[in-house]
Amino acid sequence: MAAHHFSFVRAVAAASGVYDAAVGITLLLAADQLASWFGVPPAHPRIFSDLNAIFLLAVAAGYCWPWLDPRGARWYLWVMGPGLKGAGAIAFVVDYYVRHSPPSFLLFAASDGTLAVLTLVALVASRDTPGSRLR
């Protein structure tokens, strides 16, 4: 059973890493196009979108560790899943209601929120229990 839970942890880590890498690469290479898809002006100065892209690529690279070692890198999944992605989802929803950002931003809330919940489920399902010998 433990192997099944850790394969789910690895799958969530891979999905999260691919997601962050895809958004980061798109933001780095096509920031103006991405902004137009979401109905907002491009970042000015451009360094703001470049830095966000670099941040996303670094987060994506970090997901390699829990993919390779789902037990040893649980801390990364807690920080980046329920922590960062959960907070990001909440921030997008709050921004939509408080600052009236475009409804398209709720797509990020949905995707980040989904990954946060999936990560939480994977972490809880794979936790060590007394007497377990997870590898």
CA distance readout (Å), 115 to 15, 23, 32, 98, 122: 8, 14, 26, 24, 10
Q: Does position 132 have pLDDT exceeding 70, yes or no? A: no
Is residue 126 within 8 A of residue 8, CB to CB? The reply is yes
Q: How far apart are the first and last CA of the chain?
A: 11
Write down the pLDDT at residue 13.
97
Write down the pLDDT at residue 6.
77
CA distance readout (Å), 27 to 9, 13, 80: 27, 21, 19
Is the overall model pTM greater than 0.95, yes or no? no
**Residue closest to 26 by CA, chosen among 36, 12, 15:** 36
* pLDDT single digits (tens) 81-119: 999 999 999 999 999 999 999 999 999 999 999 999 999
Q: Does position 2 have pLDDT exceeding 70, yes or no? A: no
One-letter amino acid at 132 equals S
Residue 103: count of CB within 10 angstroms of its CB: 10
The Cα 120–Cα 127 span in angstroms is 11
Write down the pLDDT at residue 3.
62
* pLDDT single digits (tens) 4-55: 667 999 999 999 999 999 999 999 999 999 999 999 999 999 999 999 999 9
The Cα 83–Cα 119 span in angstroms is 10
